[in-house]
A and B are shown apart, each in its own frame.
Chain A
Amino acid sequence: MQYSSQAVAKPYFVAAIGLFVGQIIFGLIMGLQYVIGDFLFPAIPFNVARMVHTNLLIVWLLFGFMGAAYYLVPEESETELWSPKLAIVLFWVFLAAGVLTVIGYLAVPYATLAKLTGNDLLETMGREFLEQPLPTKLGIVVVALAFLFNITMTVLKGRKTVISSVLLLGLWGLAIFFLFAFYNPVNVVLDKMFWWYVVHLWVEGVWELILGAMLAFVLIKITGVDREVIEKWLYVIITLTLVTGLLGTGHHYFWIGTPEYWQWIGSVFSALEPIPFFALTVFAFNMVNRRRREHPNKAATLWALGTGVMSFLGAGVWGFLHTLAPVNYYTHGSQITAAHGHMAFYGAYVMVNLTMISYAMPLLRGRQANSEKSQVLEMWSFWLMTVSMVFITLFLTAAGILQIWLQRIASDPQPFMVVQDQVALFYWMREWSGVIFLAGLLAYLASFFVGGKPAEARAS
């Protein structure tokens, strides 16, 4: 750590990991509800567990992005953070907002929560991923703006690098597109159309800029490859991202009432979306192969390479699988969607955050890298989580193919619930894979508590 204000990143990373654990516990609850339908009913109905699962995911990823920005920007800008105090205040505000929201979901019926929190003033609740009550949504905006102000001021007063500009662009985009969460017209088609301005333009747009910047930063640090080379790659990757991803939004406009020309535009451009993810993988391996130093943090290197591979598999391959309109006609809103959603979110955004945390946390704790023992455990957790996520994806894909066949293609299509019963075996296997995932996550937690002599760089 070169600047003392980078230390504010630490609570952000800790909170991120804590909420990640909560996310997975609710994932396992839902996984069980898939096969034992009335598990925890009526105390925690499925829709409540789902809100908790997905909202915790989003909130912890945002914690991770903010922590990453607080860590990375001072170092890139070669100056202290504009206001570390503001960063700490915002941390507590954001954590309180997140925790209170989850408590609200669990403690009272959703309709009551809506009434209590002023949904009648401005109706924004009850849409997937955007379930947060109005005060939470406003809180997110306030925190995001104050955070962006802090980061932007830091960049402005210091050295300007490509990495910090791309990161800033991504973060500003994240905040701006979130404003569409406040637009909820009565017309369902319009509602759905602009809902994707948040969801798609986040994960297949501006978040990829954040991902690219974070990965580029870590790669510079661990490989020692020339900044010029890495920054050129970064530009190429994010160009490919936006050139394909903006019009790629069309892959969500096939069947929601929007004009049919989107079947062409959406299919063609989203079919190209795997390219930036492929470039990201090549980039990560290329830089590691061309490394100029042997960084002692082997775990961070593993996470960085893993991000490349898994985001390509989850977003690129599993995205391509169902993105052409004639295929999506059958797969739309099936378990195939769930399979893709899991591996894409894990491979891209979970893993890039864990890459950053893996690299920065030891430095925040006063050493260049953790002990060999701690790193071995962390690498075990990498493999446990990653391999179990591959299996979750495969089982959901199998369930999805059967579901589509029985419900949408067979000559005698069967009702949804009848089909669900027939594919229960795959949901059981998904749940067991989820248990392994949790074991991996616990190993990850444990790796923070394994002491020992910090690993040192070995001459190669």
Chain B
Amino acid sequence: MKQSVFGLILFFFLMLPPVADLLESIMIFHMHMQMPLLIVAGFLMGKFFLLRFPAFLEKWNEDGIAGILLFVVINLYWMLPRTMDEALSVQMIEIFKFVSLPFLAGVPLRDSWMKLTTAVKNAVIILFSFLFVGLGLVYTLSPVELCNNYLLKEQVTLGWGFLTMAACFIVYLIYTLVVDPSKYE
């Protein structure tokens, strides 16, 4: 339960106008700091939902697939340049961001991850690696601004952010491929 409280505190902290302003003022902080932290907040708060609605989650998310799909869809949505722009200019969309990332991505991730088989987990990581490489290339190579609110230079930075994250995922995948844990554990 302590975790859920921390999650709630983090959630409120991120909602504070100066914090939100600072993080949204730089493109890469917006997408790679604020958004993941919102997911983390939801992930932590997820404990509460797990304890409170076990039957519901058991019924709808028995093997974790439904939850992880929801997680992926919400993430995909927020990785589009267009949606980031809208969050900055349309109040409703900004609210949707603060609701969807914690509660429709963070909470389902919490409920699903442990239920997934290793193969599905790795598939999710592979999916995100491809996605990040693709988006990284789009953001670094695009000759025009994809967002009205951010400069081209910031877009290139975000692109490199995607590429380096993808590199980390790939390192992890290679590690799981090469190292056989049963030799050690």
Q: Does B associate with A?
A: no
